Amino acid sequence: MKGDDLFSEALKLFPSGVNSPVRFYRPVPVMFERGRGSRIYDVNGKEYIDYSLGFGPMILGHADPDVASAIKRQADNGILFGSITENEVRLGNIIKNHVKSIEKMRFTNSGTEATMHAIRLARGYTKRKYILKMEGGFHGAHDYALIKSGSGTMTFGVPSSNGVPEEITKTVLVGKYNDENSIESLFNEYGNDIAAVITEPILGNIGVINPELGFLEFLREITNKYNSLLIFDEVITGFRFAFSGYQDIINIKPDITTMGKIIGGGAPIGLFGSSSEIMDLISPSGNVYESGTFSGNPLSMAAGIAAMEKLQGMDYSRINNYTADLVKSLYDIFNDKNIDVNINHYGSMFQIFFNKNEVKTYDDAIKSDKDRFFKFFKKMLDHNVYLPPSQFETNFVSFAHGRDDLNKTIEAAKEAVSCI
Ligand code: PLP
C-alpha cells in the first residue's frame, strides 16, 4: 500500500515517522492527502468522516472555498513583509470586538508560543515566580507547560518531559482541576508568590472534562484575593461554542487569554491578549520580550479573517445539536452491548471514556481503558470514521458535518462495538 511505503520513508526522517507525537499510532498511521467538508481522504483514496479536524481548527470543514480563495489571493500578493499589515488590524478587531477581556493582543504562530508569552507576561506584570497549572492541562510544548501535562504527553506516558530543568519545574505548581481544596492549599502555601493560574476553562487534552459548578468562579475569586492573574487558555474553546470566548458565555473575565486553532482558519496561529495596561508591558512599549518572524503573517491573517467572517454568521446550535444527537446514539449503542462508557461533551466537543464511572477529574480520566479506546478507534477507521487517535484527545464536529455523516457514523459505531 502506498501509505505503508511512504511511512517507512517517514520513519527514516522523523522520530516515529511524524512531526508531532499524537499523529503516531501503531502499526502505521493513516497518511492523508486531501480533505473536503467533513471528509478526508488517505493516500490510497479511502474516504473518512473526520472528527479530529486537524486537532480542532477546521470548524468550517476542510478546504472551505472562502478560506481557500483568501489564501490564494494573499499568496499572489506576497506572503511575508515583516511589518504591520491591514489584515492584522482587521483580524485583531474581529477578536477584540467579541472577547470582552481582550483590549490588546499579540498574534503568535502557535498556541504553544501564546501560552509561553502569556506566562512570561504574567510573571513580568506581577514580578512573581510561580505559575499554577492543572494536572492534565495542556498548554503546548514549552518548558513551563510540560509539567504533569495532557494530550500526547499522557498518551505516551511522559506528562513531565525529560530535558526540562528542575529549576523550571520547581516554579510550576500543579493543582487539580475541579478540586478547590487542592488549589486552596497551594495558595495557602505559595499565594503571595503565585504570578498566575493557567487553565483550559474546559479541559480538552485528557478527553473532555467540564468545569464543575462554581469551579472557574472559585479560580477567579482566589486569584483576585491573592493579586495573582488568571489565564484562560482558550486555544481549543475560543470561538468554538459561540462567536466569542467561552469566558463570555460563562461571564468570567480572565486577566490574560490565549487563543489559537479556529481563529486562523486552519493556518498556523496563536494569540495572547489582555487589558491595555498589562499588554503594554510587552516590548517595545514595555520590558517583557516577545517576537516572531512569522507572527501575524499574511497567510494566517487572510485565512483567519475569511474563516472568522464566515463563522460569525453561523448558527452554532447546528453543531451543538449534531453532537448531542451523536452522543445520545453512541450511548444507546454501547449500552446495547453492555460496554461501560462515559461520554463527556460540551457544544461541539465530545470524548468517549471507556470508564464505568463519571469522569470529572484527571484522576477519573486516567482510569479509563486506553487499550479499549484504541481498539474502538481502529475499528472506526476500518469503517471510514477518523477519530483523534487517543483516549486523551477530543472529538470535534464542524459546520460541514450533516445528517448523512451522523447516520454513517452511527452505523460505523454499531459495527465497531461488536468487535471490541
Ligand atoms: N493550549 C491548548 C489548550 C491546546 O489544546 C494546545 C494544542 O492542542 C495548545 C495550547 C498548543 O497549541 P499549538 O499546538 O498550536 O502549539
Asked if residue 274 lies in contact with residue 101, where contact means CB atoms within 8 angstroms, the answer is: yes
Burial track 270-299 (b if 16+ CB lie within 10 A, e otherwise)? bbbbbeeebbebbeeeeebebeeebbbbbb
Ligand 1 atom having least distance to the Cα of 111:
12
Binding site membership of 31 for ligand 1 (Cβ less than 6 Å) = no
- Chain Cα centroid distance, residue 124: 26
Written as one letter, the residue type at 70 is A
CA of 348 to the centre of ligand 1 (A): 17
Residue closest to 176 by CA, chosen among 143, 140, 206, 151: 206
Task: Retrieve residue 119's grid coordinates.
Answer: 506566562
Sign of the alpha-carbon dihedral angle for 387, 389, 395, 396? negative
pLDDT in tens, 245-298: 999 999 999 999 999 999 999 999 999 999 999 999 999 999 999 999 999 999
Q: What is the pLDDT along the chain (420 residues), one digit of tens a residue?
A: 788 899 999 999 999 999 999 999 999 999 999 999 999 999 999 999 999 999 999 999 999 999 999 999 999 999 999 999 999 999 999 999 999 999 999 999 999 999 999 999 999 999 999 999 999 999 999 999 998 887 777 777 667 889 999 999 999 999 999 999 999 999 999 999 999 999 999 999 999 999 999 999 999 999 999 999 999 999 999 999 999 999 999 999 999 999 999 999 999 999 999 999 999 999 999 999 999 999 999 999 999 999 999 999 999 999 999 999 999 999 999 999 999 999 999 999 999 999 999 999 999 999 999 999 999 999 999 999 999 999 999 999 999 999 999 999 999 999 999 988
CA of 420 to the centre of ligand 1 (A): 31
The single residue listed with the C-alpha cell 504570578 is 195
Sign of the alpha-carbon dihedral angle for 115, 121, 122, 128? positive
In this predicted structure, what is the pLDDT of residue 157? 65
CA of 159 to the centre of ligand 1 (A): 15
3-state helix, strand, coil in the chain (%, to 5): 40, 15, 40
CA of 139 to the centre of ligand 1 (A): 5
Q: d(Cα 230, Cα 221) in Å, to the nearest integer?
A: 10
Binding site membership of 205 for ligand 1 (Cβ less than 6 Å) = yes
Task: Retrieve residue 406's grid coordinates.
Answer: 451522523
The single residue listed with the C-alpha cell 459505531 is 413
Element (H, E) at 410: helix 403-417
Asked if residue 301 lies in contact with residue 85, where contact means CB atoms within 8 angstroms, the answer is: yes
Task: Retrieve residue 272's grid coordinates.
Answer: 495572547
If you write DSSP's letter for every residue of 110-128 in order, what string do you get? SHHHHHHHHHHHHHHHHT-
Sign of the alpha-carbon dihedral angle for 238, 161, 208, 56? positive
- Hey, which of 23, 55, 112 would you mutate to test ligand 1's pocket, going by the most ligand atoms within 8 Å of its Cβ? 112
Q: In 52-175, where does DSSP find H-type helix?
A: 65-76, 86-98, 111-126, 152-155, 166-169
Q: What DSSP state is assigned to residue 29?
A: P
Q: d(Cα 114, Cα 261) in Å, to the nearest integer?
A: 11
Helix (H, G, I), strand (E, B) or coil at 7: helix
Task: Retrieve residue 253's grid coordinates.
Answer: 473575565
pLDDT in tens, 164-190: 999 999 999 999 999 999 999 999 999
- Chain Cα centroid distance, residue 66: 23
* HSE toward the beta carbon, residue 390, CA cutoff 13 A: 24
Mean pLDDT estimate for the chain: 96
Query: ipTM score of the complex?
Result: 0.99
Binding site membership of 300 for ligand 1 (Cβ less than 6 Å) = no
